[in-house]
Amino acid sequence: MRRPKGFSLIELLIVVAIILIIAAIAIPNLIRARMSANDAAAAGSEHVIIASETGYDVAYPTIGYATMAQLGGVAPCTPTTSANCLIDNSLALATTGANAKAGYVFNVYPVAATATTPPTYYTTAAPFGSTTGSKSFCAADDGVLRYSTSTVAVTSYASCIALTAQ
The residue segments making up the domain with residue 142 are 10-165
Distance CA 45, CA 56 (A): 16
User: Residue 4 falls within a domain, yes or no?
Assistant: no
User: Residue 2 falls within a domain, yes or no?
Assistant: no
User: Residue 34 falls within a domain, yes or no?
Assistant: yes
Residue 143 CB-half CA count within 13 A? 6
Question: pLDDT band at 78, cuts 50/70/90?
Answer: confident
User: Residue 147 falls within a domain, yes or no?
Assistant: yes
pLDDT tens by residue, 85-124: 899 988 999 888 888 898 999 999 998 888 888 889 999 9
pLDDT tens by residue, 19-55: 999 999 999 999 999 999 999 999 999 999 999 999 9
User: Residue 3 falls within a domain, yes or no?
Assistant: no
User: Residue 5 falls within a domain, yes or no?
Assistant: no
User: Residue 65 falls within a domain, yes or no?
Assistant: yes
Work out how many domains the chain is built from and give that number.
1
User: Residue 60 falls within a domain, yes or no?
Assistant: yes
